[in-house]
Amino acid sequence: MRKAIQLGLGLACAIAAQAQVTVDKPIPQVVQVEVNAAQKVGQPIPRTIFGSFLEPIGNSTYNGLWAELLQNPSFEAGLWTPAKIEEMLRERPELRRAGDLAIPLPWEPLNAGQGNRYEIRAGDAANSWQSLMVIGVPGEPTGIKQMVYLPVHRTRDFQGSFYARHLGGASRITVSLRLHDQNEILASQDLDVSNTGDWKKYTFALQIPEDKLHRLDPADFVVQLDDDERVELDQFSLMPADALDGLDPDEVAMAKALHSPLVRFGGNFTSSYHWTDGIGPRDKRRNMLNNSWGIPEYNTFGTDEFLAFCRAIGAQPQIALNLGSGTPEEAASWVRYVDEHWTTHSGLLWELGNELWGNWNLGWPTKGQLAQRTLDFSKAIRGVDPTARLIATGGDPEVFHDWNAIQLTIPPGTFDYLSTHFVVGTSNVKLKNASPDFVQQAALAMPIELERKLQEDQQQIDSTPGYAGKVHIAFTEWLFIGDRRSAPNFTNTSGALITGGFLNMLMRNSGTVPISDMTGIMEFAGIWKKRSQVFGTPAYYVLKMYANADAAQPVTVKADSGAYSVKQGVDRLPEIAAVPYLDVVALLSEDGRKLTLFCVNRSLQTDITAKLHLDGFAAARKANVQVLSSDLLTDANDEIDPDKVTPIDSMETIPAGEWSRVFPHASVTVIGIERK
């Protein structure tokens, strides 16, 4: 009996959970989509709503966009926080032996059985603070190694360098690439390091034979001493020969294909980043801790490299300044430097800090300090570049009012935009015992409520004397995170659907939000690299579908597809009403020769049949159609299957009169139609 009661209660809870999504109007058997291309809506959308975001976090730059294959090349201590070291040792427990022998992680001894043959030296390094002395054992191989993943699917040629100072004994060093944890040498080069006294730089080249190492297989980079040699080593580098001045060519190619017009360089690390650490000769840039994320900041990817990346992909730089440990003078000097190194510098975007309301940012200002700090930095920047467009730190969409009210006490003209961020955990719903479907529907609804919040944000700005029509919103970070496998996440198909809904919302509101940066161009919802295999998330492909469309001028579109409402949903936006199942935005190209429809089907189960009526546009007989969907909303791409979820392109015939087509459930569809 007790079991029957428990089952009954469980069923009742499940029904109650599902009841928190109410159907306002069911999906019609046939949805009528009416587009009037002759009736324009608002102003042309700026391409800057398709921007992206780059921050040194995880493996976004180092071990990612930056093609360097070695970690901790300068043998430094303190490059990882204790928590990150614990994580590294959990994944690779064999590294504990290196720590016992005073070898900086993640380097290892070539022969652990030899015991203590290594000494950290400080104070006279070739780079930063530390170097490593290695003492050879006569008649035995002695040295160090590091596990690496090589992009052999793309190239088998590798180039490298290191600094050495001969201390005694033999003078030959052999650098090689070997099969991981095996003695089989794939490629090697001998170098004579007989110099004494001063540090000297040595270069080498290694070529791996065909069929000796396969995609995703690890290798070891090995440095071996000859006989009784004693040598001091520092500042190693190992690069694929096809690196683009240090950049990974696969990641650059995927970023260029995205056609993102803006790349924001910023994030939490901004509050403790000093730009002068990342300029000058790369071999001499200091290795240090990334204060925000507990990982190394090698500074080899600095301002010049970021600008080179922007040039390579055809994007404009958008840089967040250090309003934490930095000064107005430091910010102004960075603006001057970028202006001198970016030929079309007029009107570049500069962000006055990042999430200054968060105590995780170094040197966060109190509310009493906020306005003056914003004003001081603005004056310093405008003093060196009056054309600079400034983004002041604003509050998140659902809690903006009090914070933004402080910024709006500053004299008008101090800044051009107020930022907002929305980095949200989709699993954090208010409903107890929520089903996976409820979590999905609540997450997919969020762009609809964000649209309303952003309009309220703009109303506050416009109601402030001197600000109406002069300051708008810059959505400089947005990301959807699920902490359980069944939840929408930035890496899975469900996250791609939210991305489509979010971009539709931005296109409807580009007059309010003319700037937006999806998190991020590397990692998160963008481009990943694992074991040297580069791949994009489903959300990356949705942003690519939108940013590559020849679409500028919104026109009237109506789609009576039915709607649902959410209660007790995601904690940041728990109550959302009137969420359309089929969300459609229509735009003309600048020359009016092309009409593009952006369509998101939020229904988890229903393939929506629609009849499309195109008024004011004589369509050609063929349409280009891109559809992104998958068998499961949790499907994701990875290094093993990098193309599991990608758009399917096709050409469809447009019949005379009405055009009927089916939009798959849980899908994003972009339809491009040429004028006859």
Based on the domain organization, do 590 and 666 belong to the same domain? yes
> Is the pLDDT score of 11 beyond 50?
no
CB-based contacts of 538: which residues, under 8 Å, 6+ apart? 491, 492, 493, 495, 496, 628, 630, 635, 636, 637, 645, 646
- Summarize pLDDT for 130-187 with one digit per residue, the tens: 999 999 999 999 999 999 999 999 999 999 999 999 999 999 999 999 999 998 999 9
The CATH number of residue 655's host domain is 2.60.40.1180
Residue 99's pLDDT is 87
Domain count, the chain: 3
Residue 656's pLDDT is 81
Residue 16's pLDDT is 40
Residue 236's pLDDT is 98
Q: What percent of the chain is modeled with pLDDT above 90?
A: 94
Based on the domain organization, do 457 and 339 belong to the same domain? yes
Q: Binning pLDDT at 50, 70 and 90, where does residue 9 land?
A: very low
- Mean pLDDT for the chain? 95
Final residue in a domain of this structure, among 191, 217, 240: 240
Based on the domain organization, do 666 and 594 belong to the same domain? yes
- Residue 56 preceded by cis peptide, ω within 30: no
Q: Is 384 exposed, middle or buried (0-12, 13-18, 19+ CB in 10 A)?
A: middle
Final residue in a domain of this structure, among 176, 207, 240: 240
The CATH number of residue 60's host domain is 3.20.20.80
> Is the pLDDT score of 5 beyond 50?
no
- Average pLDDT (475-479) is 98
- Summarize pLDDT for 582-633 with one digit per residue, the tens: 999 999 999 999 999 999 999 999 999 999 999 999 999 999 999 999 999 9
- How many beta carbons lie within 10 A of that of residue 111, not counting itself? 15
Based on the domain organization, do 32 and 56 belong to the same domain? no
Residue 19's pLDDT is 57
Has residue 4 been placed in a domain? no
Q: What is the number of residues in the chain? A: 676
Name the phi and psi angles at 21, rounded to 5. -105, 110
Has residue 77 been placed in a domain? no
- Summarize pLDDT for 391-443 with one digit per residue, the tens: 999 999 999 999 999 999 999 999 999 999 999 999 999 999 999 999 999 99
Based on the domain organization, do 339 and 423 belong to the same domain? yes
> Is the pLDDT score of 193 beyond 80?
yes
The CATH number of residue 184's host domain is 2.60.120.260
- Helices 249-258/303-313 angle, 10° precision: 60
State which residues form the domain around 403: 47-65+248-548
Residue 13's pLDDT is 40
